[in-house]
Amino acid sequence: MDKLKTDLIEKAGNVKQASRELASVNSGLKNLALQYIAEELDKNREEIRNENEKDLAEGIHKGLSKAFVDRLTLNNKRIDEMIRVLQDVIRLNDPIGEIFDMNSMPNGLKVGKMRVPIGVIGIIFESRPNVCIEVSSLTIKSGNGVILRGGSDAIHSNILLTGLIKKGLKKAGLPASCVEIIENTERESVSQLVQLKDYIDIIVPRGGLQLIRFVEEHSRIPVIRHDLGICHTYVDEFANLEMAVHICYNAKVQRPGVCNAMETMLVHGSVAEAFLPVMKEEFDKSGVRLKGCEKTIRILPDIEAAAEEDWSTEYLDLVLSVKIVANLDEAINHINDYGSHHSDSIVTEHYSNGMKFITRVDSAACFINASTRFNDGNEFGLGAEMGISNQKLHVRGPMGLKDLTAPKYIIFGNGQVRT
């Protein structure tokens, strides 16, 4: 057995054992660990920034895009955000031990369900080091163990953050092996990690298409896919156009390198001539590069022509595809055909059109008159998220605390036997 496999099995075994201990820990102690982790982040700001600077310097040297570098960056504001995530999760109700769906049977048995931790979660992610904190806060609170395998671009930041998490766990008297990180960033570490079905209960991949497909093809462990974010905003014929400008600008520009940023803007033909020049003027201020269909180019002749592949491209940058559609049905069909079932929005003052949109668009989150950037665990009151699932089993949308639990049947009797 090679050294990498031996190391992975050892770490996975440690996490599995630690998760069994964590499963029965009370909420107060888990919250104390999260508070200690928050304190470690606050005390070690300079060290966090120093390690992050190593990642940033290497990323800039490799020519990573501005949006990618933004995802890597840990400044004081981002450290504050990580601390706030921990505090938000502390305030959430602990789902573990919750009893629900209790029913009395004719024979006197009381049958119900209780929420228990899933066990050990393996998460494979790229670029964003704050994922270490978000994910660990949720797994600790929900009594699960976690194995973190981040990308090479954030390895210095990830290792330091995981060390601070372990310090907080130890300080609270909890097993530090509840959270482990795979320091090897070669593709082989992913290949072998997803084979460890005797130690890991679910795999959560977060990243680009190649990573997701690789994990799906090679994993022997159930996969909860957190896939591409090809998100749309449709400006309806009944839209408040001033509102539409603000929503579309926010959805594209506020943070273009994340999965809930708009990648395609659809515009009803009857409002296109009034809306598109105003919208382009706003986008030009932030350097957004537009790619349009033939009808769009007639109104905005100085933009690029969109190719077929652009409609199904996640740019993660200040690039946007624009298409003029004839009606709501065409917009819905385009989203269902080209989208990734992630986050899609309609801007409209027409009640029936809004309801038709959110009923027929097959996505994890559908918005009426709001930016797709709100599809986020913290924004939805979940404290944090493991990621945003595009699939339908067993969770869809932001994956929070309750989604890290499994139901266990519990039965109360007073001597019943089956005849």
The enclosing H or E element of 264 equals strand 262-268
253 and 202 inside one domain: no
> Tokens in use for 314?
């996640």
Same structural domain, 180 and 47: yes
Phi, psi of 131 (to 5 degrees): -60, -35
DSSP strand pairing (120-125 vs 110-117): unpaired
Residue 64 sits in a domain of what CATH number? 3.40.605.10
By residue count, the chain amounts to: 419
Examine the domain organization and report whether 36 and 78 are in the same domain.
yes
Could you give the count of Cα atoms lying within 13 Å of 256 in the half-sphere of its Cβ? 23
Please report the pLDDT score of residue 391 as a whole number: 87
Tell me what the mean pLDDT of segment 161-188 comes to.
97
- CA dist., res. 322 & res. 244, Å (int): 14
266 and 350 inside one domain: yes
Q: What is the pLDDT of residue 126?
A: 86
State yes or no: pLDDT of 1 exceeds 80.
no
The DSSP symbol for 240 reads: -
Is residue 26 domain-shared with residue 59, that is, in the same domain?
yes
H/E element, 147? strand 145-149
Based on the fold, state whether residues 145 and 262 are members of the same structural domain. Answer: no
Q: Domains in the chain: how many in total?
A: 2
* pLDDT confidence tier of residue 193, bands split at 50, 70 and 90: very high
| Structural domain range at position 348 | 231-374
- Rounded percentage of the chain residues whose pLDDT exceeds 90: 91
Model confidence over 83-120: pLDDT tens digits? 999 999 999 999 999 999 999 999 999 999 999 999 99
Residue-averaged pLDDT of the chain: 96
**Do 107 and 248 fall into the same domain?**
no
165 neighbors 136 (Cβ within 8 angstroms): yes
DSSP string, 297-352: HHHSTTSEEPPGGGGG----SSEEEEEEESSHHHHHHHHHHHS-SSEEEEE-S-HH
pLDDT per residue as tens digits for the range 46-68:
999 999 999 999 999 999 888 88
